[in-house]
Chain A
Amino acid sequence: MVNLETTEVVLAYGSKRVVDGLDFVVPEGKITVIIGPNGSGKSTCLRGLARVLRPASGVVLLNGRDIHDQPTKVVAKQIGILPQGPTVPAGVTVLDLVRRGRYPHQRLFDQWSTEDELAVREALALTGLQDESDEYVDHLSGGQQQRAWIAMALAQETDLMLLDEPTTHLDIAHQIEVLDLLRDLNRIEGRTVVMVLHDINQGCRYADHVVVMNNGKIANQGAPEEVVNSQMMEEVFGLAAVVIADPVTGTPLCVPDVVAKRTNTQP
C-alpha cells in the first residue's frame, strides 16, 4: 500500500502562493474527490501530491519519507498522475501511448517484457480500446483520447492514482463509464484514487471521502453526506443551493436555487 501525506505544504508559482499550509493524509484504499471553485488550488494540490511541483515549504511524505528525496522512478511505480487535458503528440498510436506508461518498470534493454505486455493488454481491455490500438491517438474522438490517457495511467500499475478531471471532454455516458472504471479499480484491485472533479453530484456518488478546497486551503473534508450541504455551497461556492438525496444512490445532490439568488441580489 501507499501512504501519502502532506504537512504544512505551501505550493507557489513564483511568488504567488496557490496552496497555503496543506495538511492532508490520503485515505488509503479509498476514492477521494477534491472539489472547490475555480482557482481554489485543486489541481495545484494534486500536482504537489504527485511531486510534479516542489513545495515552497513543508514536506510531502511518501511512506514516511520526503517524496523529493526518493528516486523519481521509484515514486513513479507507486503514484501515477493524469493531468488535465494532456497534449497528444502527433503520429503516436494508442498502443505506443499506453506503452509509455510502462516507463518506470522498464530497464535499459528491457523494453517489452511479459509484464509490460500483460499490463498494456489489460489497460486496453479495461478502457475498451483493444480494437483501436493501432490508430493514431490524434485521430480519435475526444472521449476515446481521454480513455487512451487513462489506459496509459492504468498501465503504470500504481497503487495510488491522481487524476485531474478525468471526465473532461466526455459526454455523460462516457463520464459514467470512466468513473465506474475507476470505482472498479478501487473496489476490485484496491487501488487508491484521488481525483479532482467539477461535478459535485458525480463526486458525491463516487467518493468515499470528499475534500472541499477554498482559497488554497482545505475548507472541509469527510464523507459526502457530512461535507456537502447548502451551507457549504453558500460559503465556498457563493451559490444558494438546495441539497437533496440523490434518488438513485441517496448521496447528496445539489440543485442550485437560482430564483432565490436573483431575489437576493435585487431586493
Chain B
Amino acid sequence: MSLLTLAPPSLQTLSYMVLALASFATAISLSRRISSSRRVLRGRIFSSLTDLRLLYLCIGTLVLTVFLGLLGLEVGEYPIPRFEAIKTALWDRGGEFDFVVNSLRFPRVVAALLAGFCLASSGALFQSLLGNPLVSPDVIGINSGAALCAVFVLTVGADLSALPWAAFVGAVLTAVLIYLLAWKRGVSGSRLVLIGIGINALLGSGITYLMVKYPIERVVAAARWQVGSLFGSSWADVRILGFGVLIITPLALFLVPKLRLLQLGDELAAGLGSRVEMERMAIIVVASAYAAIAVAVIGPLGFVALLVPHMVRLIVGSLTGGALLLTGLVGALFLLGCDLIAQQLFAPTTLPVGVVTAALGGPYFLFILVRYNRAL
C-alpha cells in the first residue's frame, strides 16, 4: 500500500471519537459546577487543606484512564477479548496473546500514559511560573533543543541507546541557555518567552541543517521521530519514563509552594521569603526535565503540553498544589486517547500520534489565542 492512499476513516472509531469529545466537553462543564468543598487534614508533622473536588476529579480521571488503557490492550489489528487481555497483561505470561499484549500493546499504553503525564506537567509548570497560557516547552524551544540533539544522534548514525540521554541534555541545556540570555538583573517572564521563541526558531534551523546535510536513509528516521510517535514503544522506553517520573515528580511537588510565591511577582515573593532566582531556575529545570524525558522517548510531540494545562485550568482555576497532579493525569489520559485514535482512525494504517495531537491542538490553540486576545 502506498503512503498516499489511506483507508477511509473507520466509522466506528469516528463515532467513538465524537462520543468521546462530547462526553469530555460535558465532563468539563459539569465539573466546573461542582462546588469546591475542602477538608482539613492534620497530623503531627503534616497538615493540608485538601480540595475534595480536586480529589474527585483525580479519581474520575484515573477510572477513565484504566478504562481507556484496557481498550488499548484489546483493540487493534488482532482484537483480544477483554478478560484474556487483562489476564495476559497482569499474570498469565504464557498465554497465546502474550506477545501482542505484553510486547506490543501494554508497553505502548504505559508509555503513552507516562509521556502524557510528563508533557502536561511540564506545560503546567511553565504556564504557572510565567503566568502565560501560551507558553509550553514546545513553544519556547525546550522540545527543539531535545530534538536537535536527538536528530544529531539519529543522522550521524550513533548508537540509538544514546538518544534519550542526548535529548535530555539538549532540553536542559536549552533551558539554561534561555535563562541566561533572559537574565538582566533577574529574569522576567515575558522576556524569557520572547527569547525562548527566538531560540526555538534558531534550533529549528539547526535541525533543518542536519536533515539536509546527512544521507536520506538516516534523515527519514529522524523525520519520523520528529513528528512524535509511540510506535514500537518497548519496556525499555517505559523504564526511562518511569524512572524520570519517579524522580522528577517529588521535586516538582516540593517546588509547588515556591511556585505559588513566584506567581505573585518577584518583589512579593522575595518579601515572603523566596530565594527568587534560585527557585525560578529550579522550577524551569524541573519543567524542562519533564519535557526532556517525554521527548527523549516519543519525540518532540506538540500541543499536549500547551493545551492540557489550559483545559484543566478551565476547570480548577489555578494549577498549583493538587491541580498539578490532576493536570498530569489528564495529560496521560489525553495522550492515550490520541494514540488510540491515531491507531484506529485509518486502520489498518496507523498515524504517528503527533498528527492527532496537532490536528486537535491546532484549533484549540486558535481558540486560546482568541480568548486571550479578548481578555487583553
Contacts and interface: CB of A to CB of B under 8 A. Distances in A.
A237 B201 CA distance: 51
- Interface of chain A, helix or strand or loop or mixed? mixed
A73 interface: yes
Contacts of B185: 13-14
A264 interface: no
Contact of A83 (B40, B254, B268): B268
B257 A111 contact: yes
B45 A103 contact: no
Given A89-B318, A103-B261, A110 B47 contact: yes
A134 B36 contact: yes
Interface in A106-129: 106-114, 116-117
A50 interface: yes
A81 B260 contact: no
Contact of A82 (B41, B268, B319): B268
Interface in B27-64: 36, 40-42, 45-49
Interface string B250-267: 000010010011011111
Contact of B273 (A76, A91, A92, A114): A76
Given A92-B317, A107-B45, A51 B264 contact: no
Contacts of A100: 260-261, 264, 272
Contacts of A52: 266-267, 270-271
B274 interface: yes
B270 A51 contact: yes
A109 B273 contact: no
Nearest to B35: A134
A79 interface: yes
Given A81-B268, A104-B272, A111-B257, A92 B46 contact: no
A201 B191 CA distance: 40
B246 to A, nearest CB: 19
A97 B264 CA distance: 9
Interface of A: 13-14, 47, 50-52, 72-77, 79-83, 86-87, 89-93, 96-97, 99-101, 103-104, 106-114, 116-117, 134, 136, 156, 162
5 contacts: A50-B271, A72-B270, A72-B274, A100-B260, A104-B273
Given A72-B273, A81-B268, 11 more contacts: A14-B185, A50-B271, A51-B270, A83-B265, A86-B264, A87-B131, A89-B264, A90-B317, A103-B260, A103-B274, A110-B46
Interface of B: 36, 40-42, 45-49, 131, 185, 254, 257, 260-261, 263-268, 270-275, 313, 316-319
In the A-B complex, the 9 residue pairs with the smallest Cβ-Cβ separation, listed nearest first, are A76-B273, A91-B317, A81-B271, A73-B273, A112-B49, A91-B318, A89-B263, A104-B273, A83-B267
